[in-house]
Structure 1
Amino acid sequence: MLVIAMKRFEPIADWLPSPSYVANRRPLRYGRRMGSWWNVEIGGQDAPVWGKSFVPDELMLLFGDDDYYVDSTKLQVLEDVESRATDVDDSPANWFSNVMGYSTTAGALRRRLQLQGFSSEWICRLSTAFFEDQREERHGLASWEDRSALYPNSSAITAALTTRFGRAAGAGIPPDWQTHPREHFLFEKWGELREAFDDPRFALALSLSRTRDSTQVKLDLTDLVLGGWMTGAENPHGEARSRMAAVMAADGPVIVVTEGASDARRLQRSLEISAPDVANLFTFLDFDFKPPGGTDRVVSLTKGMAAAGVMNRIVAVLDNDIAGREAKAQLLKLDLPIRVTAICLPEVPYAGSYPTLGPSGCGMENVNGRAASMEFMFGEDILRDKAGVLAPVRWQAFNERFKDYQGHLGSSDKTDVGKRIDAALSATVKTDITMQVEEGCARLATTLIAAVHIPQRIPASESSILTAMWRRDPFADIEVGP
């Protein structure tokens, strides 16, 4: 059996929650006891996976809703004991365990660890390589040679650590070197590993590498609740995921979805020219994999990423024409997460009266919202040919929803305009870029940056004194000063 339990080193009176904590459900730092120690047990035996006062998010991410339990009856009893100031010496010992925690199997944990990059094979390889490096570095030191002689090679050390004997040696207080040389040596090796690979999942994966799949795994958070570090109403693994999502949303790159490769390339270059200080915070779809283009692709890809729970902020950029407006309307009708935004390219003044070709002949019309594709974004001069004539918009299909025609540049005109845009954007010196092109880059960069959802993050880790309530809704019932 594998159990993650909280160690109690103080008298019961010290680790029961304070009356103010029970009343307010918001323990203050100075209302908590000095520290609540937790550790992993495997088969009823301590293992070298432990910590103080809080369980790291990396470890909490291994557990889910089905693993979580709260014994509301025990929790109520403990609160009643404190509220009545009852003598806790008369309380049954089992009231102070298994009040809140997680329960699963070693096999389930091992599969989860593998998916997170902590497979048993890989962790054992890392451990062996680390010890081999340490052996070479310390070769010739008498103390190292004497102690390493207990095991023939680095693989033997790793193998020893994964046994019940090795796990037990790494937990608790250091064994005496004179009376228990092997235990002391393995204790030191666990300490070196924990210092070098400080993600707690490493030590857990190594500890579980030779454990039966059916071994029960239990994470008992009772002492953290009693110590005032969390409440029985919290959802620790959910809070860990919320913090991870907040960090990814705020710190991860903004994903920009465009209708095609040329749109992505030009939009990215516009950021580099007009907003170089934030350009690296945006990432664009890699069109080397040749994904399908067009508005349908933007809609389907944006919906797919939202449905898959992609945590990054997403901006879907569509042309400012009939097809783009319709695609944007489709996305806005969906219940998309707040971090997902759909926009059309901005309107441009010179498209307000622009030459067009249609069934009724030539004309001058406003093509904003009807035909303003990426080619229209970089100034009026780019749209003119060598003779100074503007490439006309050609009306195509009638859209029943918007009661208007979809317009576009002719294929040859679109190609020629695209070449002029790419040539203008390829300038390596900003002074070589024309004013109109620079204005277009600034317009695009401003539009894209303004579309990004700005999160209101709580800058606190799992070790913060803030309670989970802050992360759910920090302004719900707390008065925050100026």
Structure 2
Amino acid sequence: MSNYAAAYLDDGRPVCWFRNGVDEFFLMLFTEDDWIELTGQAAAVYLPDEELDDVQVLGFRTTAEVLRDRLDLVGVSRAVVAAELAIMAKEHCEHLRFLAQAESASEELRRGTQEQIEYWAGWSWETWVEDLSRRLQQGEGVSRLARREDHRSASGLMTLWEDHDPRYGLRALLDALPVTATITLDLSDVLESGWLEPPTDPQSVGRQAAVDSSEGLLPPIVLMEGRFDVEVLAAAIKLRRPHLVRYLRLPDFAQRAEGGAAALRQTVRAFAAAGIPNRVLAIFDNDAAARDVLRALSGDDLPPNIRVTRLPELDLARTYPTVGAQGRHLMDVNGLAVSIELFLGADVLSDGASLVPVRWGGHVRSVAAYQGELIAKSGVQDRFRRKVEAATSCPQWMDSQDWSALDLLLDHITSMLTPAVGTAPRK
């Protein structure tokens, strides 16, 4: 009985193999919603050597775009992978030069080695991806066990990932694939052999492996100023980025008496003091009160896994209606009065013929600015909840709704949580 698990491209070309089980952190890239059960011709694409009546594929399937997003959030981003490949290319060149200089090296070996040295010495991420993409389009296989193949073949280009964390090789490969391409992870053999227990929940398997190995592979935590902020972000992720629902944690401190920027600062400091191992992103409003608190927070000694940001600037807020002692004016309220409500969409903020205005309040001396707040917040919040209900019951409604600001916020969060070069450990 075979004890292998394998991941495949759409047309059945294998991406990687696992023996006697499957790498738990690789498995964690999938969710229960990705589960598939294939038989007959649909399964034979991946197992062409088996009898059509007996062939079966049990496992997970999702798109290249979804896997890219998930890998970015678990710390295996394009920047990290590109930097890792650069290191491996340099080491590979040094090894090839050693082989070419050996007294026993034949002339044929020297020529072949020199060609590889020239390729990897002139390597760049962009050219590597272009070469791999072209070879994949020509139908070449992508098995990483390719030491004897042409170094410019698809499998030859993937050879450096052979002994690496399989997530890194997959992330590199994904950049050479169309976003609509699918990856299918077939677990049939390892399930039948007992190496993996059905039903399989990839998240619980992966998290337990993280705990067992003490590597701390934990989902990022996103903190916001208020309960409604969390409600909005949770709805936006569910509707606009459903494939990331289980890859972020959004604590709702329902028992917290105090809200706002000051309370969020206290939470951030508490997380830092407690040594929370997860990456933490605290998102403050983009108003005068938050600027005051952030000025004080800048002096706190926060660990590198905790980052602080404000709601991103909005084009809508650059000429927004305001009401104050000087009457009604259109003003840029970025940095003065932008709360989560201004991200709910112009369709929600519209009260008849105009946008619900901001009312100016007290003066915040430390930042020399007045604090503003949206008038009739509760009405705006209720309209957003109805908008969410409509989109949930009929997703096509989102095509006629305004989600642009919340899409901007989700992109900002992803950007803040995506590691830069050198921030992820090598395995």
In the superposition, the TM-score normalised over structure 1's length comes to 0.42
TM-score normalised by L of structure 2: 0.47
Larger Rg belongs to: 1
